[in-house]
Amino acid sequence: METFQDVTAWFSDPVNWSGPQGIPQRLMEHLQYSWVAVLLAAPVGVALGTYIGHARRFEFITVTTANLGRALPSFAILALAFPIALHYNLGFSIWPTVAALFFLAVPPILTNTYVGVKEVDADTVESARGMGMSGSQVLRRIEVPLAAPLIVTGIRTAAVQVVATATLAAVVAGGGLGRFIVDGFARQRGDMILGGAFLVAALAILTEVFFAFVERSVKPRTASQDRSRFKPPYRHAAQAGRPGGDGYVPGA
């Protein structure tokens, strides 16, 4: 109970909501790390996954590489990227963190895109080819739209992982919400540690919810859903046969 009160007091302190060390500034830094990494990883993962799923080439090599990318610790990539950034006079910039998060984000996007395009119904693809569509038209009009929900799922998975892992930026003197956790350990402030952890968890949940709505919006409508949008004209047909209706003919 005392811990909860300490965290509540930390959040209610106006000092934590202003200045370069405040929550809004740290939140913007965290979003910058996360979204730059996802925006760089999404085109790469989607492009490679789409090509491999459509052409059925380099499947084994690419999927194996993607799985190896998942196994790479983000902290190890960060530890390698940070000295390189210093060597090229990039200073304490966002790029070491973005590099680590980029390699974390690409595998789920690539894998989901590849599986989504590959698993499109073969009969649908053959029917499209039989109608005279070229390979690129089949990809744009059939495969990518049908695979879109799974592609967005891959981006959602990557975004949530990136948001949760972006706390590593604080380890190399970066910003973001992880700064509260690292500084909290340094100052032995449990309220700061728990407050930072709560903010990271809340941001990850909001990211999950946002992409869940996006995934739902790109899901192709089924034939039954399309038919439900149109009301059958039974009422109008019945009214047309009544006296006074538009289709009523006296004496018929």
Taking alpha carbons only, the member of 116, 118, 106 closest to residue 58 is 118
Where helices occur in the chain by DSSP H, the ranges are: 2-12, 23-55, 59-71, 74-87, 95-118, 122-130, 135-138, 144-165, 178-187, 190-218, 223-228, 234-240
Note the pLDDT of residue 248.
Answer: 44
What parts of the chain have a pLDDT lower than 70?
1-2, 90-92, 221-252
- What is the pTM assigned to this prediction? 0.81
Buried b (16+ CB within 10 A) or exposed e, 200-229: beebbeebeeebeebbeeeeeeeeeeeeee
Note the pLDDT of residue 213.
Answer: 92
Token pair of 133 as six digits: 């569509």
Contact by Cβ (8 Å): 108, 158 = yes
Note the pLDDT of residue 154.
Answer: 94
For 45, 243, 248, the CA distances from 251, given in Å and listed in that order, are 71, 11, 9
What is the sign of the dihedral through the CA atoms of 107, 79, 195 and 14?
A: negative
Q: Give 165-218 pLDDT, tens digit per residue.
A: 999 888 887 889 999 999 999 998 989 999 999 999 999 999 999 999 998 888
Backbone angles phi, psi at 19, to 5 degrees: 80, 175
Q: What three-state secondary structure class fits 177?
A: coil
Portion of the chain with pLDDT greater than 90, in percent: 39
CATH architecture of residue range(s) 2-223: Orthogonal Bundle (1.10)
Note the pLDDT of residue 121.
Answer: 82
What residue spans define the domains of the chain? 2-223
Note the pLDDT of residue 185.
Answer: 92
